[in-house]
Amino acid sequence: MKSPQQSAPLSESVPTEDLADLYENAPCGYLSLSPHGRIVKVNTTLANWLDTPAERLLNRTIHELLSVGGRIAYETHLAPLLRMQGFVFEIALDLVQRDGRKVPVLANATERRDDSGHHIFTRLTLFKAVDRRTYERSLLEARIRAETVAKAEQETAALREQFIAVLGHDLRNPLAALAAGVRMLTEREALSERGIRVAKEMGSTVARASALVDNLLDFARGRLGEGLTLSRESEVPIEPILEQVVAEIQAVHPERAIITEFAIEGPIACDPARIGQLAANLLSNAVTHGAADAPIRVQAFTKDAHFVFSVANGGDPIPLAARERLFQPFARGDVRKSQNGLGLGLFIVSEIARAHGGTVGVKSSDEETRFTFTMPLEHE
């Protein structure tokens, strides 16, 4: 007696595989076609799937086993592919049973050729794939649904941006009328001291509202694919423009200290209105977010074939997490409470910088927060 540990050969003998039976009753369908596409041999498994005795399938064409879509595809895709590369793998087909019901299968096919390359048979192996095909179809449907939803969302977004553009445009006129009215009041009417103060505040509020609307329009234009358009002039004396921006902001905020330091050599090729808008956005940003008791420093200079403009303010540094999103549209709020605006100002700044072939960056520490715009003097 051998002990069990010696792993004795099992007493039952290993059966010899019956190849004929393997062909007939294999767990897949076998089908052989003549070069003209007629069935010359088919196994029992496939005949059972088709619910038709094998001998009744012989000499019929492959087309008779396929759905119409499969037939067209067989002629337009599979037959040519078989001819050109000798094989086709993983094709999803629907076989049609005698009563018209469909059997989804996956098929592999190869051409059997003789030594001289003559085509003798086309051999197909077919695997039932009911669950797999159902799964694939549901994936496909899910994708189509997702694409439909995404498309609808894109359309909604485009509509929303169009709405913003129209709204912004329509807001301009009443704001302009309001500004004209306030100007008339302060310049031509005899107002009390209090009246003058109120009218001036109204004037600065209207100016701020107009700036917001301008930003909104620029944003909407950018989003609507028109991008930011520049009317570039070749020789812009830039210092007076910057000085005017500073003067305007200073007029509205006489209590804030703004220190300027300009060292600009010669005129610069740029869009003066846009550069003014960039400077105004950065400066009002500094006024809004900077510490009230610290001066705002505005620097502008030319160096190494670049024009550099920067605005620095004191106060708490901008947290790192917020810095990354600073130049994205509507980036505001969750890290630092925004007191003013939609969060489009810096986005517009970065767009203006980009349109000028330049960049805008931020450095923020306990000492100061500084936004720096740099653009090359030579435009490519």
3-state secondary structure of 298: strand
Whichever of 77 and 101 has its CB closer to other proteins, that residue is 77
CB of 142 to other proteins, least distance (A): 13
Q: Where are the alpha helices (DSSP H) in 189-298?
A: 193-223, 238-252, 272-289
Whichever of 99 and 255 has its CB closer to other proteins, that residue is 99
CB of 140 to other proteins, least distance (A): 6
CB of 70 to other proteins, least distance (A): 6
CB of 89 to other proteins, least distance (A): 6
CB of 46 to other proteins, least distance (A): 20
CB of 94 to other proteins, least distance (A): 8
Whichever of 140 and 167 has its CB closer to other proteins, that residue is 140
Whichever of 83 and 197 has its CB closer to other proteins, that residue is 83
Whichever of 8 and 68 has its CB closer to other proteins, that residue is 68
Q: Where are the alpha helices (DSSP H) in the chain?
A: 19-25, 44-50, 54-57, 68-73, 79-85, 130-188, 193-223, 238-252, 272-289, 320-325, 345-355
Long-range CB pairs of 174-179 (<8 Å, 24+ gap) are 175/206, 175/209, 175/210, 175/213, 176/210, 178/202, 178/206, 179/203, 179/206, 179/207, 179/210
Whichever of 79 and 273 has its CB closer to other proteins, that residue is 79
By the 8 A CB rule, do 257 and 296 touch?
yes
Q: Where along the sequence are the contacts to other proteins (CB under 8 A)?
A: 35-37, 61, 63, 67-73, 75-77, 79-81, 83-85, 88-89, 91-94, 133, 136-137, 140
The residues, any chain, with a CB within 8 Å of residue 128's CB and separated by 6 or more, are 49, 103, 104, 105
